Amino acid sequence: MLVHFTAPTIHAGFEGTITLEIVNLGPKPINLYPNMYVCQLVVEEVKGTPFTNESQFQGQSVPTGTES
């Protein structure tokens, strides 16, 4: 199981629902259950003054780009 790694940062000033994207790259299924802990934590030092970073995800309340 891989936690989405191309956009792991939640930028200062972001408002919206944080969506954890995961993928199973293995040959066997992985069962996920309610209340199961799955996470990725990246800690970065922030220097300077944050600026507005408008994006398509700002203010989202549901995941976008999901497949049914």
Give me the tens of pLDDT residue by residue for the chain, a chain 68 residues long: 777 765 667 777 778 877 777 888 899 998 989 988 877 667 778 788 877 767 767 777 776 655 54
Is 16 a member of any domain?
yes
Name residues whose C-beta falls within 8 Å of residue 23's C-beta, 6 or more positions apart in sequence. 1, 2, 4
Is 25 a member of any domain?
yes
Is 68 a member of any domain?
no
Residue 51 token pair: 């600026």
Name residues whose C-beta falls within 8 Å of residue 3's C-beta, 6 or more positions apart in sequence. 20, 21, 22, 38, 39, 40
Q: Determine the pLDDT at residue 17.
A: 78
- Angle, vertex CA 20, rays to CA 6 and CA 36, nearest 5: 135
Is 4 a member of any domain?
yes
Is residue 21 among the annotated active site residues?
yes
Is 62 a member of any domain?
no
Q: Catalytic residue among 21, 44, 45, 67, which?
A: 21
Residue 10 domain boundaries:
1-56
**How many domains are there within the chain?**
1
Cβ distance 11 to 53 under 8 Å? yes
pTM, two decimal places: 0.42
